Structure 1
């Protein structure tokens, strides 16, 4: 007997149960991971034939995601909760929700600037004035917490700067230098980071989903728990980078050099690793379901 509600979907998000419809999951954000999951093109993981679809994420904030998909309204939350919700929105590739959260966060920083940016040595306005110069350096400055989203910061030298929780979403950072910066928790969503230098940088917990990192140099960088979902990392240099528990689902790593990289707990499901250099890399604790490894150099790799 067919179901009277054929579009009804039951979800199990990290143990929390939700019910919604296919239209809710696919219409507002048609390019999201959720829309792709329920497009009919993919086999879904279910507890049983008619059981809920399981997603291995923390379900704490999933109700906010469903409400966004239903009515398009950004929830009113504490700043710390916004950051947690932002991570989930990045994971599900809900770009509209990501932009909405960033706007709310920007407004809050503007309203509270004397309190929030006490430690920052420059403001967004100062940055805009500076980048009109021919050669710009912010080496060693404290720019933590600034909103630098959508600015043209190409070729800017940020080396040794403190960039904690900076918003670089959709910024043009091509060929910028981030050598030895502390950019923990910063947001580089959909930023252009092509040919950037991140040698020795601390990017722990940073969000780089959808970013263009073609030929970027991330050697020796701390990339623990970073989100690179859907990022373009073709021919990127990741030698000896620490990618412990990083999320690289659907990322394009074609031709990337991962010699000596730490990939313990990394999520590489659906990633393109064709012709990547993975010699002697320990892949035992990585998630490689659906990853493309054609032509990859796996000599001595542990699997």
Structure 2
């Protein structure tokens, strides 16, 4: 049973977090991150309900990770954890609005080296701060391995950037620029890429399932081994694009310009290629079962 709320005195604080009990002080909870939920809760501006019998304050969150929260507030350090545990701690830090801890966790995650040894130069938190400004450019910046999923990155300039294994799933990237970007194995699943500029971009092995690429410009882009399952590529510009071995099963390429594109060994089963411009396209060993080719221009195509 919870007692009536009373102002919390500046002394020891007893907490019950998800069934685990902790003892700390008001100073610990308020000094490092005063703008956090915990800082506001124990600032003296609010009343805090306590259990009449134990004198404890109950917080309905994961008690296992709260010890790391307290250690951060006490010493300003984060523990060495596995990536999955960092993700769990990150959720708790975001709940308590501990922005300093969130930033440090993201920095630790994002500085994990990818296969070629490069390291991301910015964290997700820094990216969010940047995109709140009116004009955003990340030209030539290394953002490899970052989780940028679900962010509004429309109109952002990523030209010449290194974005290997970067997660853009469900992000809004409408009219963003990726010209000559290095984006191998990056994830654009369910992302909005309408009218994007991807001229000459290296997207080898990228995941673009169900991405909206309507009217996007992918001229000369490398999409070898990409998965574009059920992607929307209506009216997209794919002249001379390399799509060897790409999975375009169920993709909508209606009205797309693929002149000179390499689609050899690609999976185009059930794809909509109606009114597509397929002149001089390499279709050797490609799978076209169930593909719609009505009105497509196949003059000079290699089959």
Q: What does residue range 1-303 of structure 1 map to in structure 2 within 5 Å? A: 107=87, 110=106, 112-113=108-109, 115-116=111-112, 119-303=119-303
Q: Secondary structure at the match of 2:189?
A: coil
In 2: Cα distance, 1:211 partner to 1:244 partner: 19
The Cα offsets for residues 9-36 of structure 1, whole Å up to 9 and x where unpaired, read as: xxxxxxxxxxxxxxxxxxxxxxxxxxxx
Contact kept? 1:231, 1:250, Cα under 8 Å: yes
Q: Greater shift after overlay, 148-157 or 110-119?
A: 110-119
In 1: Cα distance, 2:273 partner to 2:238 partner: 13
Kindly report structure 1 stretches of 4+ aligned residues shifted beyond 3 Å.
103-106, 108-112
Q: Secondary structure at the match of 1:116?
A: coil
After superposition, the Cα gap between the structure-2 partners of 1:294 and 1:105, relative to the gap in structure 1 and judged at 3 Å, is: farther
After superposition, the Cα gap between the structure-2 partners of 1:105 and 1:237, relative to the gap in structure 1 and judged at 3 Å, is: farther
Contact kept? 1:168, 1:191, Cα under 8 Å: yes
How far the C-alpha of 1:106 sits from its partner, in A, is 8.3
In 1: Cα distance, 2:85 partner to 2:224 partner: 24
How far the C-alpha of 1:281 sits from its partner, in A, is 1.5
> How does the TM-score come out when normalised to structure 2?
0.63
The Cα offsets for residues 117-137 of structure 1, whole Å up to 9 and x where unpaired, read as: 681111000000000111100
Q: Secondary structure at the match of 2:162?
A: coil
Paired positions, count: 201
> How does the TM-score come out when normalised to structure 1?
0.63
The aligned counterpart of 1:84 is: none
Q: Once superposed, what is the RMSD of the aligned Cα atoms?
A: 2.0
After superposition, the Cα gap between the structure-2 partners of 1:246 and 1:105, relative to the gap in structure 1 and judged at 3 Å, is: farther
Computing the radius of gyration over CA atoms, which structure comes out larger, 1 or 2? 2
Structure 1 residue runs of 5 or longer lacking an equivalent are 1-102
Contact kept? 1:223, 1:244, Cα under 8 Å: yes
After superposition, the Cα gap between the structure-2 partners of 1:220 and 1:153, relative to the gap in structure 1 and judged at 3 Å, is: same
Structure 2 residue runs of 5 or longer lacking an equivalent are 1-82, 89-104
How far the C-alpha of 1:231 sits from its partner, in A, is 0.3
How far the C-alpha of 1:286 sits from its partner, in A, is 0.8
Q: Secondary structure at the match of 2:125?
A: helix
Contact kept? 1:202, 1:222, Cα under 8 Å: yes
Contact kept? 1:106, 1:147, Cα under 8 Å: no
The aligned counterpart of 1:29 is: none
In 2: Cα distance, 1:126 partner to 1:111 partner: 9
In 1: Cα distance, 2:157 partner to 2:232 partner: 22
In 2: Cα distance, 1:178 partner to 1:302 partner: 30
In 2: Cα distance, 1:165 partner to 1:105 partner: 20
In 2: Cα distance, 1:168 partner to 1:106 partner: 20
